[in-house]
Amino acid sequence: MIIRRSKFVLVSTQFICTTQELLLLSNMFGLLLIVFVVLIILWHKIRTHHWIKRQVPGPQPWPIVGNIAEHLFGRKTIGQVIKEIYRKYEGYPFVGIFRATHPCLLVRDPEFVHKIMVTDQKAFYNNEFNIDKKIDPLFGQNLFVLRDQDWKDTRQMLTAGFTSLKMKFMYENLTENARRLVEFIQNHPTAEDDGIETRELTKRFTLENVASAAFGIDGKCFESFTELSEFMKLANSVLEPEALSLSRILIQLNAIFPVASYFISFRIIPKEIEQKLVQIVSDVVKYRKENHVQSNDYLQFISQLAKEKGFDDTEITAHSVTFFFDGYESSSNVFTYLLLNLALHPQYQEKIREEIRKVEEENNGEITYDTLNEMKWLDACFYETLRISPFLDILVKKCTQSYKYTPENPDFKKLSVKLYPGDTVIIPYSLLMNDEKYFENPDKFMPERMMNRDNINKAIFFPFGSGARVCIGQRFGLMQIKLGAAQVIKNFQISPDPKTKLPIRLIPFSFLNEVKGGVFLKYKRIERKN
């Protein structure tokens, strides 16, 4: 009995000690939580003074989410949130905002935009995106994310691959792909009645072009109406806008806590996708070498560079992937919006058809590379689409040198701002182009305004970027979109299907301005007269 009581006392004592320890730990945790909350509040107070002490006006930010809560909670795109701020500060040359915890200067004065992009570009040389080439060797060598000397060297090296002569060499393959696009629509079982989801349709076309030009393969994008080819699946695994991948989560985390990028490295292109793309390029390069095959495509250009620069297959693939991103996803997005705008405004379809008839009559029934670029209505509809339906809303640049700006335009308040290396500036790419201050009836599709683009202020309308970092692939994008659109308009009367919800809504977390629910258009075949 005595032994048992001793055991009981011992156990009871241990239980009392454990409870005391738990209470102590609980109190310590509570204290730490209070300290953490206090530190967050103090940090927020200090952080919000970032623009106040520089005497820059702007909306009051919320803790953690800053001024972009509706974007972070998935209610709006980042562009839609920035647009609301842009409109509230009419007359201000710039606005200090917080993209979550990160202070950014939203530029409203077009002259300031022009200085950042062109005149004083050395002080704003780099885009904000920061990808480690060692972690992501394919996307890390994309011109959009490269910085400083790496960007200069790569840009200079690749420019020769995008000349007008190179585009003419690729034009024949693109013409064949445009023919296959028309045939695909003609045979599609729902084209006239229920319509075709046009974002997927245009992706088939632009990916087929990229497959042949940058990878030297047949993408097999037009072989099935319901199934995607293996190459399309591969492309979509990287770029699917609604996919919740680890990289997308980390990108959002980086937007909230930019300092995290110094501690967390992440990939845009997953390792397994990288390996598949490298294998595709390696096989094609090996085949061409062993069989003495020469081709007038982009892969041939990169392969030749590889001999001169000593590139391995991964580096060759990386430069092909640059073509892949620009020529596939962005071009498809613009092509989709162009067809949607033409479907909603059929009078311009007829203007383009008349233009096509004249071109074909004068060129033995063909649309050549040169005549494609001379079609004024097609060109005007293309550029008006870029204005009213931009695929991006903002550009984000990093300041690399100390810089001061004071507006000279009397339309803006006489405010000055001093920027330092590491500061972030946001260029309202699409907001300027849709501001009634610069364009009459900005929400109306009016291609007439683009018939003479020389009269449009280049500090307001710069759909391919501006200055030294203007889009290197714009010639290829222009060529394939215009060619595809000409062939579609020539052969089909396009109209919107009720499944397309108007006005359109956008997917909040997409890199590009993607239409939520898809773009369904009907394609009624036009019987050609002999």
What are the Cα distances from residue 519, in Å, to 202, 328, 421, 432?
11, 17, 42, 26
Report the C-alpha gap between 361 and 348 in whole angstroms: 20
Q: Tell the residue number behind the tokens 């209470």, with chain if given.
A: 23
> Is residue 399 annotated as involved in ligand binding?
no
Report the C-alpha gap between 121 and 412 in whole angstroms: 22
Nearest to 117 by CA among 451, 419, 432, 469: 469
Nearest to 104 by CA among 427, 401, 400: 427
Q: Does residue 390 have a cis peptide bond before it, meaning omega lies within 30 degrees of 0? A: no
Q: In what order do the strands lie in the sheet with 102-107?
A: 94-99, 102-107, 424-427, 395-398, 126-127
Listed in order, strand segments (DSSP E) in 181-324 are 196-197
Report the C-alpha gap between 279 and 267 in whole angstroms: 19
Q: Tell the residue number behind the tokens 């940090």, with chain if given.
A: 43
**Which of helix, strand or coil describes residue 512?**
coil
Using alpha carbons only, what angle is made at residue 481 by residues 485 and 279, rounded to the nearest 5 degrees? 130
Report the C-alpha gap between 489 and 491 in whole angstroms: 5
Query: What φ, ψ does residue 425 adopt, rounded to 5°?
Result: -120, 140
Using alpha carbons only, how large is the chain's radius of gyration in Å? 27
Three-class secondary structure assignment of 376-389? HHHHHHHHHHHHHC
**Long-range contacts of residues 49-57, Cβ cutoff 8 Å, at least 24 apart:** 50/96, 50/103, 51/96, 51/103, 54/96, 54/417, 54/418, 55/415, 56/94, 56/95, 56/96, 56/105, 56/415, 56/417, 57/89, 57/92, 57/95, 57/96, 57/415
Q: Which two structure tokens, joined as six digits, stand for 135?
A: 């972690």
Contact (CB, 8 A) for 97 and 61: yes
CA 97 to chain centre: 22
Query: Which letter does DSSP use for residue 126 in this model?
Result: E
Amino acid at 452: N
Q: Which residues are annotated as a binding site for heme?
A: 471
Q: Which residues are annotated as a binding site?
A: 471
